[in-house]
Amino acid sequence: MAMTVLSNIVISARVRRSPFFAATQRYGCKAYSVYNHMYMPLYYQSPEADYWHLVNGVTLWDVAVERQVEIVGPDAARFVQLLSPRDLSNCAVGQCKYLLMTDETGGILNDPVLLKLAEDRYWLSLADSDVLLWAKGVAYFGNYDVEIFEPDVSPLQLQGPLAAAVGEALFGSALNDLKYFWFAEFELAGMPLIVSRTGWSGERGYEIYLQNGDDGDRLWETIMEAGNPHGIAPATPSAIRRIEGGLLSYGADMNLDNNPYEMNLGRLVDLDQEADFIGKAALARIKKAGITRRLVGLAVEGGAAAVPSLERAAITCDGAPAGRITSAVYSPSLEQTIALALVPLAQSGEGSVLTVESDVVPLSAKVSPLPFVSRKTV
């Protein structure tokens, strides 16, 4: 993400505030974007300083913009399966699943984390698109006995190598039993919470789901207090760390025009399952025909100064069009500008040398293995 300041952002009643919004202001959040019709914090000290807190210590993020869609009722399991290509027949109560949602053409609508709260009750923890409208629309003529709504649920993320220590201080040693991509119910100062061992950082971490928007300040401060001995800092989803980790951002790296295979996410498509899902026939056709382009990592010359000119920049190979950048950032760990890009299959092999047609000057780029930085002790 190019951290070029574009303008002031102005408060508007049209855009919703998170239950943690006042806390983010109090803690000095300097920039916001808008995500699922809600203000999303972008950084506190600086994107780089926040990154170092994340990778060296522990950070607390307001990610209430990850709105939940709750699906509950006798047909909930069947309906949730309809919405996703991933085989969920083995998903247990207490388990999370990263999944894609696709339309009838196999195009990606969202990439939520699913939480199975009960045999007949699920949350979809969303990226930035109105899945509530999609799910309600599908259900309108569908013959499913389900209720679909946005509950009063707002997640925080506690991320970084010291997240386990802060989590234990808050919730006791029982938290250590939580396996990766599982969740459990906890209580904190009388607040009922869901805590999952998930996150968008490639570091050890948890998501903590507040279930009463009035308690936002109290939950934030309770966690900050427990984190103080460990040097906790407020931070946000880190563009640097997620691109290092090869984690995709819906809206930047993929959208309705992309299929899972070209995103290297074919593992999330189970065509052999008995159940039908939206996009199954189209995805079978795409798989059979083979993809024509692929998301790759790029190491780009030019250092941090080049990043602002890389936003959605065109790529060429020997003068011919060869796709475009989808995300770019300077990695202070790798001391290298890194990017994600959608390129023709012929140019997607590791070591391919391409040219990024930045606004300023053409830059050389080399296709690099993903992730740039491996997932750590998550």
Which residues are known binding-site members?
207
Lookup result for tokens 């991509």? 181
Following DSSP, what letter does each residue of 36-101 receive, concatenated? TTEEEEEESS-HHHHHHHHHHS-EEEE-TTS-EEEEESTTHHHHHHHT-SS--TTPPTTBEEE--E
Minimum distance from CB of 341 to its own copies (Å)? Answer: 11
User: Which residues line the annotated binding site for substrate?
Assistant: 207
C-alpha 25/C-alpha 39 separation (Å) is 11
Considering only residues 256 to 285 of the shown chain, the ones binding its own copies according to CB under 8 A are 278
- Residue 7 vs 377, nearer CB to its own copies: 7
- Residue 208 vs 328, nearer CB to its own copies: 328
C-alpha 155/C-alpha 145 separation (Å) is 28
Tally the C-alpha atoms within 13 A of residue 136's C-alpha that lie toward its C-beta: 9
Burial 294-322 (b: 16+ CB within 10 A, else e): bbbbbbbebeeebbebbbebebebeeeeb
Q: Are strands 113-118 and 121-125 parallel, antiparallel or unpaired?
A: antiparallel
| Residue 51 lies near its own copies (rule: CB under 8 A) | no
| Contact between residue 208 and residue 225 where contact means Cβ atoms under 8 Å apart | no
Kindly state the number of chain residues that form the binding site for its own copies, as judged by CB under 8 A: 57
Minimum distance from CB of 243 to its own copies (Å)? Answer: 11
Burial class of 228 by CB neighbour count within 10 A (0 to 12, 13 to 18, 19+): exposed
Using the rule CB under 8 A, give the single segment among 132-140, 185-193, 199-207, 345-353 that binds its own copies. Answer: 132-140
Q: What is the CA radius of gyration of the chain?
A: 21
Using the rule CB under 8 A, give the single segment among 14-22, 86-94, 163-171, 348-356 that binds its own copies. Answer: 14-22
| Residue 26 lies near its own copies (rule: CB under 8 A) | no
| Residue 29 lies near its own copies (rule: CB under 8 A) | yes
C-alpha closest to that of 210 among 159, 250, 158, 168: 158
| Residue 365 lies near its own copies (rule: CB under 8 A) | no
List C-alpha distances in Å: 270 to 89, 98, 125, 315, 357.
11, 13, 21, 32, 37
Minimum distance from CB of 378 to its own copies (Å)? Answer: 24
- Residue 1 vs 175, nearer CB to its own copies: 1
| Residue 104 lies near its own copies (rule: CB under 8 A) | yes
| Residue 109 lies near its own copies (rule: CB under 8 A) | yes
| Contact between residue 247 and residue 194 where contact means Cβ atoms under 8 Å apart | no
C-alpha closest to that of 219 among 192, 185, 183: 192
C-alpha 22/C-alpha 18 separation (Å) is 8
Minimum distance from CB of 237 to its own copies (Å)? Answer: 11
| Residue 154 lies near its own copies (rule: CB under 8 A) | no
| Residue 188 lies near its own copies (rule: CB under 8 A) | no
- Residue 150 vs 301, nearer CB to its own copies: 150
- Residue 250 vs 372, nearer CB to its own copies: 250
- Residue 93 vs 314, nearer CB to its own copies: 314
Q: Residue 360's Cα: distance from chain center in Å?
A: 30
Q: Exactly one of 48, 49, 120, 136 binds its own copies (CB under 8 A); which one?
A: 136
C-alpha closest to that of 297 among 258, 323, 260: 323
Q: Exactly one of 68, 238, 249, 368 binds its own copies (CB under 8 A); which one?
A: 249
Considering only residues 209 to 248 of the shown chain, the ones binding its own copies according to CB under 8 A are 239
- Residue 312 vs 376, nearer CB to its own copies: 312
Minimum distance from CB of 311 to its own copies (Å)? Answer: 5
Q: Exactly one of 20, 23, 42, 352 binds its own copies (CB under 8 A); which one?
A: 42
Which chain residues interact with its own copies by CB under 8 A?
Answer: 1-16, 29-34, 37, 39, 42-43, 103-104, 109, 128-131, 133-143, 239, 249-252, 278, 308, 311-312, 325-328
